[in-house]
């Protein structure tokens, strides 16, 4: 697992994010992830982000694994009770998925089906505890798992720009105690907030941080995100910079690259989010001075290479 190894060895880690399709055709998602091969340590697959119907994250992660691309399974509590979460975690392990980002999930009211009933029996801390118990080989009802312990690598989310620093610190400490092994942040626009977060909260706990970098496409795009994405706080100076640019798309790449370069000096890694513009991520990394992964192709095992050929056939139809 490239991501887990990089974090354990203290190397700078890069992850990116893809969104499952709103439909049964997965080709574009696989193509987007394929373009990141050799540039990122792992690719996250969102799970019902913004409470909108999408293909199962579990299914897309397995397809990425078959293509030789290391996935991070995002799992939210909004739509599943504990039995369903237990089933999906065991299923993920059986499918060869090991890295899971444990999330509460965006509220149903922000999505396009506000009449849907949320479950929310658990939330992210209790989901982390569930992973922790499965990794200890414990059956959630009684006794031990009959086939032994799972080997999942759980992560959690955090918002360094949270308005309440004390609440943020408490929440992160709870996630750490529940078994979180790394933190992936929401988009960060203030490097000083990130520096304080790492210095005073995550650093003392020994939790590596992947700082969230969101690729903005235009001033209008930035204003839309501020309006609809919970917790988004894109400053007016960034929006004005995009509005004044002759080429807003290129300016957005430059802004993201500047953030990657700045956060590289603060956090152990970055997490890149470029909704429907994943093909721009390589240029972000190039402008930020982040080199491709060393011997990325050589790190693929024989089985992964064979799976890569299978994925190529799938992409070509």
pLDDT over 80 (residue 304) = no
Is 3.20.20.220 the CATH number for 2-316? yes
29 neighbors 60 (Cβ within 8 angstroms): yes
pLDDT range class, residue 232, cuts 50, 70, 90: confident
Report how far residue 285's alpha carbon sits from residue 107's, in angstroms, rounded to the nearest whole number.
32
Average pLDDT, the chain: 93
Which tens digit of pLDDT belongs to each residue from 159-179? 999 999 999 999 999 999 999
Read off the tokens for 56: 């199962």
Q: Give percent of the chain with pLDDT exceeding 70.
A: 93
Report how far residue 232's alpha carbon sits from residue 110's, in angstroms, rounded to the nearest whole number.
13
Task: Tell me phi and psi for residue 15, to 5 degrees.
Answer: -125, 160
* Other beta carbons less than 10 A from residue 73's beta carbon: 25
- The DSSP secondary-structure symbol of 49 reads G
Which tens digit of pLDDT belongs to each residue from 92-131? 999 999 999 999 999 999 899 999 999 999 999 999 999 9
Report how far residue 65's alpha carbon sits from residue 242's, in angstroms, rounded to the nearest whole number.
37
Q: How far is CA 215 from CA 167, 185, 223, 288, in A?
A: 28, 15, 13, 13
- Dump strand ranges (E) for the chain: 13-18, 42-45, 71-76, 99-103, 153-158, 182-187, 209-214, 269-273
Weakest-pLDDT range from 241-250, 265-274, 289-298: 289-298
Report how far residue 51's alpha carbon sits from residue 228's, in angstroms, rounded to the nearest whole number.
12
2 neighbors 293 (Cβ within 8 angstroms): yes
């Amino acid at each position: 697992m490239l991501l887990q190894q990089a974090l354990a060895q203290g190397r700078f880690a890069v992850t990116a994010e893809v969104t499952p399709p709103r439909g049964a055709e997965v080709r574009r998602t696989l193509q987007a992830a394929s373009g990141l091969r050799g540039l990122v340590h792992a690719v996250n697959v969102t799970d019902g982000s913004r409470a909108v119907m999408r293909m199962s994250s579990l299914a897309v992660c397995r397809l990425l694994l078959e293509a030789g691309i290391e996935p991070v399974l995002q799992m939210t509590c909004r739509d599943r009770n504990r039995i369903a979460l237990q089933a999906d975690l065991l299923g993920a392990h059986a499918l060869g998925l090991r890295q899971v980002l444990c999330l509460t999930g965006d509220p149903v009211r922000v999505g396009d089906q506000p009449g849907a009933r949320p479950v929310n029996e658990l939330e992210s801390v209790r989901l982390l505890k569930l992973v922790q118990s499965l990794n200890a080989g414990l059956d959630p009802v009684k006794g031990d798992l009959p086939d032994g312990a799972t080997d999942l690598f759980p992560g959690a989310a955090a918002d360094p720009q949270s308005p309440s620093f004390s609440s943020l610190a408490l929440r992160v400490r709870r996630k750490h105690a529940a078994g979180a092994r790394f933190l992936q942040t929401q988009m960060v626009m203030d490097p000083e907030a990130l520096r304080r977060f790492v210095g005073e909260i995550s650093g003392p706990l020994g939790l590596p941080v992947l700082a969230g970098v969101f690729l903005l496409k235009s001033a209008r795009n930035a204003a839309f995100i501020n309006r609809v994405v919970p917790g988004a706080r894109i400053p007016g100076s960034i929006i004005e910079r995009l509005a004044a640019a002759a080429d807003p798309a290129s300016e957005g790449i430059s802004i993201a690259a500047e953030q990657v370069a700045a956060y590289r000096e603060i956090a152990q890694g970055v997490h890149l989010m470029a909704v429907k513009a994943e093909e721009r991520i390589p240029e972000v990394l190039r402008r930020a001075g982040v080199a491709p992964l060393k011997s990325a192709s050589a790190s693929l095992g024989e089985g992964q290479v064979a799976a890569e050929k299978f994925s190529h056939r799938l992409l070509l139809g």
